Amino acid sequence: MITLLTVAHVIVGISLILVVLLQRGKGASMGAAFGGSSQTLFGSRGPQSFLGKLTTIAAVVFMLTSLSLAVLSSKKPTASIMQKSNVTGAKPAATTNPVTPAPKSEAQSQGQPPKNTP
C-alpha cells in the first residue's frame, strides 16, 4: 500500500512541476518552447483556466498523498534492531591489564647509551 502511494506521490509531484512550468508567466513561458507562442498554445483564454484548474487538482492530490504517507508511516509497527537480534547474555569485552614498562638497566639510569649486543 505504501509503495503504491509513494509511486503515485512521485508521479503527481512531477506532473505538478510540469503543469506549473507550462503556465503563462510574466515573460516568456515554457509553452513557447513547444512550437507556439505562449498565448496560442491552448487558445486565447484556454491555458489560464485549464492549467489553473489542473494545478489546483494536482496540488490537492499531492497534499493528500503527502498526508496519507505520513499517517501510514507513523502507524507502521517497527521493531528496533536490538529487539530483532537473538543476542542474549552478551558479556562485555575483557579488559586487559596495562603494560608496565621494563625496568631501566644500570647503564640507562646513569645516562649511558645502551650497548648493542649481537
pLDDT at 111: 65
User: Is residue 69 in a domain?
Assistant: yes
Number of domains in the chain: 1
User: Is residue 62 in a domain?
Assistant: yes
User: Is residue 63 in a domain?
Assistant: yes
**Over the stretch 44-76, which tens digit does the pLDDT of each residue have?**
555 567 888 899 999 999 999 999 999 988 876
pLDDT at 106: 67
pLDDT higher than threshold 70 for residue 116 = no
Q: By residue range, what is the domain housing residue 45? A: 1-6+41-77
pLDDT at 26: 58
Average pLDDT over residues 76-82: 67
User: Is residue 58 in a domain?
Assistant: yes
Amino acid at 88: T
Q: Where are the alpha helices (DSSP H) in the chain?
A: 2-22, 46-75, 81-84, 106-109
User: Is residue 73 in a domain?
Assistant: yes
Of 61, 58, 48, 60, give the one whose Cα is nearest residue 22: 48
pLDDT at 14: 96
Reported confidence tier of residue 31, pLDDT bands at 50, 70, 90: low
Minimum mean pLDDT among 4-8, 18-22, 62-66, 112-116: which range? 112-116
Average pLDDT over residues 8-36: 77
User: Is residue 64 in a domain?
Assistant: yes
User: Is residue 99 in a domain?
Assistant: no
Are the C-beta atoms of residues 107 and 114 closer than 8 Å to each other?
yes
User: Is residue 96 in a domain?
Assistant: no
* pTM score above 0.85: no
